[in-house]
Amino acid sequence: MVAKELDYIRSREIASGSSDEKNGGVYIDAFDAQDSKPPLTGFAKWKDGFKRADTDEMGLDPNLSEAEKIAILTANSPLSRSLKQRHLTMIAIGGSIGTGLFVGSGSSLHTGGPAGLLIAYILIGTMIYCTVHSLGELAVTFPVSGAFVTYNTRFIDPSWGFAMAWNYAMQWLVVLPLELVAAAVTIKYWDTTTNSAAFVVIFYVLIIAINMFGVRGYGESEFIFSIIKVTAVLGFMILGIVLAAGGTGKGYIGGKYWQHPGAFANGVKGVITVFVGAAFAFAGTELVGLAAAESTNPRKSLPSACRQVFWRITLFYVISLTLIGLLVPYNEERLFNAENTASASPFVIAIKNGGIKGLPSVMNVVIMIAVISVGNSSVFGSSRTLAALAASNQAPKIFGYIDKEGRPLVGIIFQLVIGALCFLAASPKQNLVFNWLLALSGLSSIFTWGSINLCHIRFRRALKVQGRDTSELAFTSQPGVLGAYWGAGLNLAVLGLQVWIAIFPLGEKPSAEAFFMNLLTVPVVIVFYVGHKLWTRNWRIFYRANEIDIDTGRADLDLELLKQELAEEREYMAAQPFYKRWWSVWC
């Protein structure tokens, strides 16, 4: 398989005139052959950037299987590889800090109480840690376009891959209009008279502008957004300690809210209900793997980004939510009776209760930025997923249109068209529409994360059965295959518990509306999976380990050279002081 891919790459070089072997071994520079055409500048260059990139498939060996063709095409995608180390680092650290933490944690606190909130988020946090490392190992080894979207087809089954890819695409497609409306609603914290639709237009145009700069625009914007969000959370943690200790003159708080109204709001059922809220808060963590295919050096930048997830979970979620549980009682009316997004944020409520003027408005600005960040990420996630689906012949070929600037242009435009649903903000029926859109994507992340871990399990199994081991991997998951089993098992458990909550919702009578509002993602996935099976007539459930292709699309084709480099790196690190070795493990 490696030889086939090398032949394909070599044939592309020869066809493009970049090889010595063309024209009898005489090298011909591309510009020399077209010296009559000077380089484009200004408007002409900008216009030319929207033309389709060269993705000629004529060099592919016709004897390759469809799966092998897909692996090669996604590995050699014309997507721009311009994300740097700092971009991936900030995407990993701050990428998923959004409304789930700043606002959604309020309803979770009300539902589960401070203890229930921490239990749910810590358990989901351990699963996220294992999942990101499983994804990191796969993405460093196979930095292909679409990442985990294509891994499902490769390591499990084409029908499951089809269902998971469309599940993930739909998740981000419906998130954009939701986040745009949420961003506009945050303005009501200051302006309650202007129609939200007016502000929706502003944020919609901003998202369009960012994504017209391609992956570099996404990387730079997320870098800035993440710095703001991380700074805000760190600042709140310091302030929260001061508030809990009574440093603002409002009196010592300590753990009194754990005693009254109590540590748990609705017992075990309340904690189980919080699991889905916690999963929503961590949604987007996997984007760092999707971005790996567009980074300059995945082997160097992605492992560091994966290791830093531990600190993000510990610092930004566990510590900040511990402080929220100390500062805001779970029966606080503003948590569940707010007129706008910002008023329901436990971060804003805690600052207001501390009697600090002006700072709640600053926190609201951070919330607005977090919402815009999630909306921006939705365009990145959906467009790349649609491009990978098109390359895999699982979506219309037009979605595979990638321009000369490396932008999946049709996917971006399609996402922005779906995003225009945000203008329903002016409709009296907006809540009904958006609730069902949210239900459509509610459990999408659970399926995505479970499948990532399952792909890692299948990959490790294939290595073992085919007589190979982890010595040929540039990066290995810290929790290993046991972590992948924990991640997959916990996702399965959360899904099962959510079925119980859907049938017997907390504080409500069982109803069809409550069932589908909580579980709509499941029948949608089943329809995609069964529909693909019926269409392709492929009744196999999964690939056997000895049939799995573990070579096509690898970042390092010369495995012996890679092993030698890894051995030298280990030898060099073993000679370093303890603090440097510790840093390399966790940062």
Report yes or no: 326 and 254 within 8 Å, Cβ to Cβ: yes
Cβ density class 324-342: b for 16+ within 10 Å, e for less: bbbbbbbebebbeebebbb
Q: Is the pLDDT of residue 18 over 50?
A: no
**Whether the predicted pLDDT of 452 surpasses 90:** yes
Among residues 55, 54, 74, 72, the alpha carbon closest in space to that of 63 is found at: 72
403: which strand partners?
52
Question: Comparing C-alpha atoms, which of 374, 173, 156 is closest to residue 285?
Answer: 374
What is the CATH architecture of 82-556? Up-down Bundle (1.20)
User: So what's the pLDDT on residue 29?
Assistant: 44
Cis peptide before 158 (omega within 30 of 0): no
Q: 311 is written with which tokens?
A: 């600190």
* Lowest-pLDDT range of 68-72, 253-257, 362-366, 551-555: 68-72
Mention every residue, 6+ apart, whose C-beta is less than 8 A from residue 409.
Answer: 50, 401, 402, 403
pTM: 0.85
What does the pLDDT read at residue 55? 57
Paired strand residues for 52: 403
Contacts for 28-33 with beta carbons within 8 Å, 24 or more apart? none
Over range 506-510, report the average pLDDT.
82
- Select the more confidently predicted residue: 463 or 564: 463
Long-range contacts of 510-516 (CB under 8 A, 24+ apart): 516/439
Burial of 557 (0-12, 13-18, 19+ CB in 10 A): middle
The tens digit of pLDDT for each residue in 390-404 reads 887 788 889 888 887
Q: What is the tens place of the pLDDT at every residue in 402-413?
A: 887 778 889 899
Dihedral sign, Cα of residue 163, residue 169, residue 173, residue 179: positive
Q: Over pLDDT 70: what percentage of the chain?
A: 82
**Residues ≥6 apart with Cβ < 8 Å to 583:** none
Closest CA to 283 of 133, 456, 448: 448
At residue 34 the predicted structure's pLDDT band, cuts being 50, 70 and 90, is very low
